[in-house]
């Protein structure tokens, strides 16, 4: 049986994620207060919608921070893979919050389209520009961790939604200032809602994929089989399983049928090292487990293995 880990790397990654999240929480909180004041002064639903989105961001970012903190805890006899999957649950909460905010913003905007709202475009523009600067700063902080963790990707998408919302609000403010059309604010709110939903659904699909233990999208199971069968002494491979504990943490296990000479010549250890190295180098699988077995053992295992 062979396996490999990189706990030092995981610990450093979680520590970095926590630092990034704390910085972004402070930024988002500042932008939220600014947008609430700006919405009251200007009467802008778009600013209020973006502030509401920021509330969901704050909740989502705090959930992400808690998840990153818990995920850094070491494995136990009960949680044998550790607590990394908590990140997935954090991403699930984030995606549901995003969908809820999008629906509420869309409903509010629909009501406004039927009226004649008075919006102070000047205040709206100033606050939206400052909010945009804060959101861009948050994106730059989170960008480095967004590719490595589904939890951090959820947080990144939250702030990205705010950035796009700020751009829509700026556009609406310019329209109001130049044409006096107040319902441009409601249109901007609808745009914000439309921008949120696809990203939320994409994150939700990724969460479902991990929780259902599907093979990661980037993992080619057939190619892995081909590599294993190419190793000297390997006769067949079956009972292959590939899943992920969390995004970017694939796990692999398989039963490998080997020729009698592998055991007779004491090559089992070397073969396990070779297979584990292959999975790590070519497929970025840090945790792999192989059961080496002679052909006669594989024959009486039955037809339940693939």
How far is residue 50 CA from its own chain's centroid? 22
CB 83 within 8 A of CB 70: yes
Angle between helix 150-179 and 184-211 (nearest 10): 170
Task: Tell me which DSSP letter residue 74 carries.
Answer: P
The arrangement of secondary structure in 221-299, i.e. its CATH architecture, is 2-Layer Sandwich (3.30)
Between 274 and 212, where is the model more confident? Answer: 274
Tell me what pLDDT residue 299 has.
61
Could you tell me where in the chain the CATH 3.30.70.1350 domains are found? 221-299
**pLDDT at res. 153:** 74
CATH code of domain 7-211:
1.20.1510.10
Instruction: Answer whether 189's CB lies under 8 Å from 126's CB.
Output: no
The closest alpha carbon to 159, from 185, 184, 133, 126, belongs to 133
Query: Does the pLDDT value for residue 304 go beyond 70?
Result: no
Asked if 124 contacts 38 with a C-beta cutoff of 8 angstroms, the reply is yes
How confident is the model over 216-271, as pLDDT tens digits? 777 788 888 898 998 888 888 988 888 887 766 788 888 999 988 888 888 888 89
Predicted confidence (pLDDT) per residue in 201-213, tens digit:
887 888 888 888 7
b/e 78-102 (16+ beta carbons within 10 angstroms → b): eeeebbbbbbbbbbbbbbbbbbebb
Q: Which residues contact 299 (CB under 8 A, 6 or more apart)?
A: none
For the chain, give every residue range classified as CATH 1.20.1510.10: 7-211
Read off the pLDDT band of 94 (50, 70, 90): confident
Contacts of 19 (CB under 8 A, 6+ apart): none
Which DSSP helix (H) or strand (E) runs through 230? none
**295 has a pLDDT exceeding 50:** yes
- Are 279 and 241 contacting, i.e. CB atoms less than 8 angstroms apart? no
pLDDT (tens digit, 9 = 90+) per residue, 169-188?
888 888 888 888 777 877 88
Q: Which pLDDT does position 80 carry in this prediction?
A: 62
Q: How far lies 173's CA from each of 52, 107, 134, 187, 195, in Å?
A: 18, 21, 18, 11, 18
Helix 45-71 vs helix 121-146: crossing angle, to nearest 10: 20
Residue 5: predicted pLDDT: 45
Does residue 151 contact residue 71 with C-beta atoms inside 8 Å?
yes
């Amino acid at each position: 049986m062979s396996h490999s880990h990189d706990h030092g790397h995981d610990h450093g990654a979680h520590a970095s994620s926590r630092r990034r999240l704390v910085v972004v929480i402070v930024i988002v909180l500042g932008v939220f207060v600014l947008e609430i004041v700006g919405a009251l002064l200007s009467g802008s639903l778009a600013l209020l919608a973006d502030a509401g989105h920021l509330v969901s961001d704050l909740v989502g970012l705090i959930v992400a921070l808690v998840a990153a903190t818990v995920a850094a805890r070491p494995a136990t006899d009960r949680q044998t893979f550790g607590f990394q999957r908590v990140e997935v649950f954090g991403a699930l909460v984030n995606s549901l919050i995003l969908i809820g905010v999008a629906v509420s913003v869309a409903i509010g905007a629909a009501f406004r389209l039927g009226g004649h709202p008075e919006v102070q475009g000047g205040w709206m523009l100033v606050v939206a520009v400052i909010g945009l600067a804060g959101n861009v700063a948050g994106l730059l902080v989170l960008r480095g961790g967004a590719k490595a963790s589904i939890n951090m990707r959820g947080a990144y998408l939250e702030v990205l939604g705010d950035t796009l919302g700020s751009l829509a609000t700026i556009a609406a403010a310019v329209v109001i200032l130049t044409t006096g059309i107040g319902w441009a604010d409601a249109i901007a709110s609808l745009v914000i809602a439309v921008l949120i939903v696809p990203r939320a659904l994409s994150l939700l699909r990724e969460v479902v994929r991990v929780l259902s233990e599907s093979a990661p999208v980037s993992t080619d199971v057939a190619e892995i089989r081909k590599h294993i069968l190419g190793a000297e002494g390997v006769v067949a491979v079956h009972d292959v399983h590939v899943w992920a504990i969390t995004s970017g943490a694939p796990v692999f296990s398989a039963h490998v049928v080997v020729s009698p000479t592998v055991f007779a010549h004491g090559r089992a250890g070397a073969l396990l090292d070779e297979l584990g190295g292959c999975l790590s180098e070519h497929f970025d699988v840090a945790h792999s487990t192989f059961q080496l077995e002679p052909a006669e053992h594989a024959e009486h295992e039955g037809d339940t293995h693939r």
